[in-house]
Structure 1
Amino acid sequence: MIFRQLFDQQSSTYTYLLADSATREAILIDPVFEQVRRDTALIEELGLHLLYTIDTHVHADHVTGAWLLKRHTGSQIAISAASGAQGADRYLNHGEQCVFGSRHLEVRATPGHTNGCISLALDDGSMMFTGDCLLIRGTGRTDFQHGDAHAMFRSVQNQIFIQPDTCLLYPAHDYRGLTVTSVGEERRFNPRLGGELCEDDFVGYVTNLRLPHPKQIDIAVPANLKCGVATNDPTQTAEPEWAPLAYTFAGIWEISPQWLEDNLRSVQIVDVREPDEFNGPLGRIPAAQLISLGDLAARASELKKERPIVAVCRAGGRSAQATVILRQAGFNDVANLAGGMLRWRAEGRVVENAAM
């Protein structure tokens, strides 16, 4: 069997590719909209035929890539019948199988994080994909989208912990860089429900987490209830060739800080912050040109259309709007710096005029 674990840095989401090595039939679990280009390239390079994308639940922190992958590859969209999502090709119920070649995943209903959560167990008991139900030394939250702490505890005990101790568990997210755990580990060491902890202990723990709502929830949940259908269809837009860009659900092409740092002199960097920010403690990217967002439309003629442009701001919001303005002004090769100067500084990248 072919197996790959893929990661989206922005949402800390794991996407899993499984394929039968003989038939080349494949399944992709929890795809991310912005990573469809990456996933499609990998599927093509490995010579695979993608049968299904499966979302373990209606995500609140990112938009699924299911619809876009269907446009690219012809794959079918699968999600829990209890999810409430519209537009899927297959609605999954507890006990059903998702077959790829000679292998299959068994669907296990594991509500609690949401009422439509599922986990997927590989046919030989060697691995299981637990979505946002059981995480590595943690669990999903239960305070929105019909979450239920009692249901989550029972889901883990009755659907996941029944697997062999050696069964490897792969969650939909991890925020610390951990990649895999096992049933035996989580039985012993999970601080929320391992050891001798009972259902009341677990409920008391997760109902007092006091976590902020996911930043993308107002965008992600409505989009995922439609299986990721986008208003702006990137399959009808030519793929940029000047850099490896990611297309966001909002219709913005984004570039990674790593690529930009490696290619500073090959692009025009337009910083759309205000002058006091440009000269402020966050510093600025070398060779960046200051044109505040409010002045950009009037000053667009100062930029060269034959060279790609990367727009930059503090956190990526104003610069996203800057890419729209520049495209309206006739610039084709334009991208937003994902995360802006905050991410640039957090990753320790080169700056000028910065406070130490």
Structure 2
Amino acid sequence: MQCHIRLVLDAQNQMNLRLHCLGKKNVLQKTTALSHALYNSHDTRPFHPGVAGDNYIFRQFLDYKSYTYTYLLADTASREAIMIDPVIETVERDYRILQELGVNLIAAVNTHVHADHVTGSGELKKRVPGCKSMIAGVSKARADLKLRANDSIKFGRFELEVRSTPGHTNGCLTYVWHEKGMVFTGDALLIRGCGRTDFQEGSPGVLYDSVHSQIFSLPKHFKVFPAHDYTGQTMSTIDEEVKFNPRLRRSRSEFIEIMNNLKLPYPKQIDKALPANMVCGIYDEMDKAAQV
């Protein structure tokens, strides 16, 4: 059974959280309302509900095949939006939601060259005129804009800070939304875990240094939104990961030993995903590249 928590307004215009539980065929089975007061009484909350009438839109979507989280961020005044880590199989869903919300997607942003799914950046660009693809320049992947540390990604009145966090791959980036206390960590930092370091120029020592210097240095209350989770968790905080992450709370030498002895299987989608993601997920371009 799959459960999704949604923020809604009840008849008294009070914020409620509704937990929608879906069966295997995504048929709505049950809806449970959780009052905002009860929500705030919990020590551990699944996500931040925002404020009614706030000036931004935030949505977290899941691709059930690769357990990839895609994030939609938008400014309600300008209607400009960006999407982080879109997946090709869910482009139609994502495009429909963009239309329903009436926002203009100006950028499809990747945290790194993924090995477990094909990016939806290229397909979104086909559907949304003016949408730009973005990825780390050091990744050498094709994109409209090549990002590096200290760049800013602007949408309406908001902006994300770009931080370089290599180690899982050489081109991993983390995006920090300082104003809203959110950080989008890709595979560099997962909830109680981290990305593997045994391919794509990965390095356990580099990853440890990246997370501790670029992510754990953020304010403790910042909410952590990773690119994946395989256990149903939707977010964490900097404070939680510093205290409880079973790998990254250890010493650097212990972390390196752990990562070097994981003995993980070869990624199922890597032979398909890597070539496609190097050309923004556009299969026509992948075919052309193979012919050169």
Q: Which residue of 2 aligns with 1:141?
A: 196
The whole-number CA distance in structure 1 between the counterparts of 2:180 and 2:251 is 26
CA-to-aligned-CA distance 1:261-311 (integer Å, 9 cap, x gap)? xxxxxxxxxxxxxxxxxxxxxxxxxxxxxxxxxxxxxxxxxxxxxxxxxxx
Equivalent position of 2:276 in the other structure = 223
Tell me: higher relative CO, structure 1 or 2? Use CA pairs within 8 A at least 6 residues apart: 2
Cα distance, 1:231 vs structure 2: 3.1
Q: Which amino acid aligns with 2:137?
A: A
> 2: CA distance between counterparts of 1:193 and 1:32?
28
Q: Which amino acid aligns with 1:84?
A: K
Q: CA shift at 1:209, angstroms?
A: 0.7
Q: Distance in 2 between matches of 1:125 and 1:111?
A: 24
- Do the aligned partners of 1:110 and 1:152 also contact (CA within 8 Å) in 2? yes
The answer to whether 1:204 aligns with 2:243 is: no
For residues 154-173 of structure 1, what are the alpha-carbon distances to aligned partners after superposition, in whole Å with 9 as ceiling and x for unaligned? 11001001111100000000
Q: AA paired with 2:178?
A: D
Amino acid at match of 1:131: G
SS of equivalent residue, structure 1 residue 135: coil
- In the other structure, the counterpart of 1:150 is 205
Match of residue 77 from structure 1: 133
C-alpha displacement of 1:37:
0.1
Distance 1:221 1:42 in 2: 27
| Alpha-carbon shift at residue 193 of structure 1 (Å) | 1.2
User: Any idea what SS the aligned residue of 1:222 has?
Assistant: helix
Of 174, 180, 183, the residue aligned with 1:128 is 183
**Alpha-carbon distance between aligned partners in 1 of 2:283 and 2:96, rounded to the nearest angstrom:** 20
Q: Which among 263, 266, 271 is matched to residue 213 of structure 1?
A: 266
- Unaligned ranges ≥5, structure 2: 1-55, 286-292
Q: Distance in 1 between matches of 2:57 and 2:196?
A: 31
Match of 1:115 among 149, 170, 176: 170
TM-score normalised over the length of structure 1:
0.64
CA distance in 2, matches of 1:218, 1:201: 31
User: Could you tell me the TM-score, scaled by structure 2's length?
Assistant: 0.77
Instruction: Return the alpha-carbon distance in structure 2 between the equivalents of residues 200 and 172 of structure 1.
Output: 26
Q: Which amino acid aligns with 1:202?
A: F
What secondary structure sits across from 1:5 in the alignment? strand
Structure 2 Cα separation of the partners of residues 113 and 201 of structure 1: 17
Partner residue in 2 for 1:167: 222
CA contact (8 A) 1:103 1:123 kept: no
Matched letter for residue 84 of structure 2 = I
Structure 1 counterpart SS, 2:72: strand
Deviation at residue 125 of structure 1 after TM alignment: 5.7
Partner Cα distance (2:268, 2:170) in 1:
21
The 1-side partners of 2:242 and 2:280 are apart by: 34
Match of 2:104 among 39, 43, 49: 49
Distance in 1 (CA, whole Å) between partners of 2:104 and 2:284 is 27
DSSP 3-state at the match of 1:2: strand
Instruction: Tell me which structure has the larger Cα radius of gyration.
Output: 1
Please provide the CA RMSD for this pair.
1.2
Determine the C-alpha separation between the residues in 1 that align with 2:260 and 2:227: 21
In structure 1, list runs of 5 or more residues that go unmatched. Answer: 233-356
| Partner residue of 1:95 out of 143, 150, 154 | 150
Shift of 1:198: 1.1
Q: Secondary structure at the match of 1:211?
A: coil
Q: Write out the 4+ residue segments of structure 1 that deviate beyond 6 Å after TM superposition.
A: none
Alpha-carbon distance in 1 for matches of 2:284, 2:75: 34
Q: Does 1:27 align with 2:82?
A: yes
Partners in 2 of 1:121 and 1:201 — Cα distance?
28
Q: How far 1:123 moved relative to its partner?
A: 2.9
